[in-house]
Amino acid sequence: MSLFKLENIRKSFALGPVQVEVLKGVNLEVEAGELVSIMGTSGCGKSTLMNVIGFLDQPTSGRYLLEGRETSSLTDEELSTIRNKKIGFVFQQFNLLSRLTALENVCLPLIYRGLNEREQHRIAREMLAQVGMDERAGHKPTELSGGQQQRVAIARALAGSPSIILADEPTGALDTRVGQDIMNLFLELNSDKNITTILITHDPNIAAQCRRVVRMKDGKVAQSADQARGAP
Amino acid sequence: MMLKASLREAARSLAAAKQRSLLALLGIVIGIGSVIALVSMGTMAQRETLRQFMEMGTDVISIQEEQRREDRAGGAPPGFSLEDVLEMPARLASVRSVAPYASAFGELRKEGQRQSIPILGVTEGFLDMNKLALAEGRFISDLDVLMSHAVVGGNLAERLVKQGIIAGVGEDIYFDDRKLTVVGVLRPAAMGAMRPYECNEGLMLPISTVLRLSPQNTVRTVMARLEPGVTSSQAADEIRQYFSSLPRAGQVRITSPEQIIEHMERQSRMFTLLLGAIGSISLIVGGVGVMNVMLVSVSERKREIGIRRALGAQKKDIQWQFLIESVLLSLMGGFLGIVLGVGASFLIARYSQWQFEIIHGALVLGVGVSMAVGIFFGYYPARQAAALNPIQALRAE
Ligand SMILES: Nc1ncnc2c1ncn2[C@@H]1O[C@H](COP(=O)(O)OP(=O)(O)OP(=O)(O)O)[C@@H](O)[C@H]1O
Ligand SMILES: [Mg+2]
């Protein structure tokens, strides 16, 4: 059984009086433990697709099976719980809360699980150590470099031990070298911890390091190919 | 989310917008402050009156001459005749003792300083009638007829000592064109409608002396202590009859402790109403301030809300977060208001010579009301925050 399966997913937005269809029947199946990159021209619907996969948004039509279960009739509460337990988001703009320290940012998903503070801190420290940021646990995001912020954001995504990490252009705001460091972290997490990872990228070098590349075109999956993993 | 963590979060985000939060609180601070001050004042005034009756007993009534229409045009009323008054205990079954008094004003002089001071012409029985206590010396005696002896009221004495005008018993003071010898000083007494205020704030002289000072000075009030078991209304009937049977018949107005207490209660009901009105208006203003801050806060923190939603916060988690923040904000206003209100009532108590007390009920009211304001006016912004679409929230800024 695949980890998740999208069947003929459509999504349209109302732009004033007109309905704009952004996803025009996406079919995609991902197995547990895969590392998939999604590429495509700007505006082709990659982020929209990722929001649907991450249960931040609901498709207009189509079937979305997560671990074999139909998800179209879930309530907002259930969707929140799925996001909390099964999904880890990593954003291009890091999206850390600037008032909180690195450690507290990593604790956020755990707060919504009702874990006590000691437990939260224990897990958060462990995650920060995993991304090499344990020394900076007490720092605010503004005191960290872009690469460091993205590491903290990845630790936050990992904290809830999700089934899927969804990363929307995680290296897009970083220079090539730091971007590669982050990519190495994803590769390491995928191979060592077997964490299913889907990352959107415009960078062919990043995409080339993923076993599978999905190319989107005009709201559809144009091509989905496995490739031998090689050095950039 | 756990309460402790939520409270810390809320405190932190309020601290991040200190200035705005403080300004928004002004309405609540003033609202709660005035409610606390007014409740405390009302309660302190009531307790002062009750304390007076505790000291004096409730078997004392006050009799005043009813001013007649024809007198009103022709200057001062004639006043009671001292003999008629002093005969009352002997002639009336309901009256045990009487203490008539005549009040006037005069100027106290000392080394070029002048101050206007109320005086009271009294009989020996005045001390016991009002259950006053001497700090030193003796009270006016019925043997002091026409003598220039004076007893100084409790608060006045404190003031005069501070100003260096008197040091104690045996000294002379210059009052109008006379030299008075201080024979006694009273202790401050609780004030409230029955005791004449001069027994704290003025000089007491023999009644004969005061009546001789000026033809304007007349006996206009008589205090009477009743025989045990006699009700105020029984006594009132007998006294009215007595005064109308005199050769120089007159109408009298009788004030009983019951009337004073009833009046006080009526006043306090009015007070409560007024208080409710002032309090609710300023609290509405304050609440709208809180709501405004929270709405701004929600729209500034859309991205944060989006992030939290992406990480698994449910709508109700977001709603709680903002509700707790607004309650905390109003509670802070409530605490500042309590400090302001207690401070104000302390000053008012000092000024009015009441015994200062912190009225606990008022504090509970202050905390309760500010919390309610926080919940009521924070609900809508919190709802809005919770209802935000996660994706649109994430895209904000
Ligand atoms: N909430 C929305 N309302 C209306 N239109 C939207 C909304 N979200 C996305 N769109 C439109 O859908 C299209 C696809 O957007 P999307 O963000 O998925 O593109 P993308 O592939 O991620 O592009 P990029 O590579 O630039 O990030 C765009 O034309 C965008 O304007
Ligand atoms: Mg995008």
d(CA A54, CA A52): 5
Domain assignment present for residue A174? The answer is yes
DSSP calls for A97-146: -TTS-HHHHHHHHHHTTT--HHHHHHHHHHHHHHTT-GGGTT--GGGS-H
Closest residue CA from atom 29 of ligand 1: A43
Residue B86 has which token pair? 């002093």
CATH code for the domain in which residue A51 is found: 3.40.50.300
Max CA distance (Å), chain B? 98
Residue A120 counted as domain residue: no
- The count of domains in chain A is 1
Question: Is the per-residue pLDDT at A25 higher than 80?
Answer: yes
Give yes or no for a contact between B42 and B273, defined as CB atoms under 8 angstroms apart: no
Where is pLDDT greater, at A12 or B264? A12
Q: Which two tokens stand for residue B40?
A: 């405390």
Return d(Cα B197, Cα B271) in angstroms, integer: 23
**pLDDT tens, per residue, chain B with 397 residues:** 567 778 888 888 888 777 778 888 888 888 888 888 888 888 888 888 888 888 888 888 899 887 665 555 555 567 888 888 888 888 888 889 999 999 898 888 877 778 889 999 999 999 988 888 889 999 998 888 888 899 999 888 888 888 877 777 888 888 888 888 999 999 988 877 788 888 888 999 999 888 888 888 888 899 999 988 888 888 899 989 888 888 776 788 888 888 888 888 888 888 778 877 887 788 888 899 899 999 999 999 999 999 999 999 999 999 999 999 999 999 999 999 999 999 988 998 888 777 788 888 888 888 998 999 999 999 999 999 999 999 999 988 7
Closest alpha carbon within chain A to B316? A77
Let me know if residue A77 belongs to a domain.
yes
Torsion of CA A42, A48, A50, A56, to 10 degrees: 150
d(CA B168, CA B182): 7
* Probe site for chain A from B1, B3, B311, B325 (most A CB atoms < 10 A): B311
User: Does residue A88 fall inside a structural domain?
Assistant: yes
Assigned domain for A8 exists = yes
pLDDT at A231: 42
Mean pLDDT of A183-200: 92
Domain that holds residue A189: 2-95+162-226
Q: Report yes or no on A173 lying in a domain.
A: yes
Residue whose C-alpha is closest to residue B193's, from B39, B50, B350, B355: B50
User: Has residue A230 got a pLDDT over 60?
Assistant: no
**In this structure, is residue A209 part of a structural domain?**
yes
Q: Is pLDDT larger for residue B355 or for residue A9?
A: A9
Considering the domain boundaries, does residue A74 fall inside one?
A: yes
Which of chain A's residues have a Cβ under 8 Å away from the Cβ of B312?
Answer: 80-81, 83-85, 109, 112-113, 160
Least-confidence region, from A12-26, A65-79, B103-117: B103-117
- Ligand 1 atom showing the smallest separation from residue B391 Cα: 1
- Give residue-wise pLDDT tens across range A102-126: 999 999 999 999 888 899 999 999 9
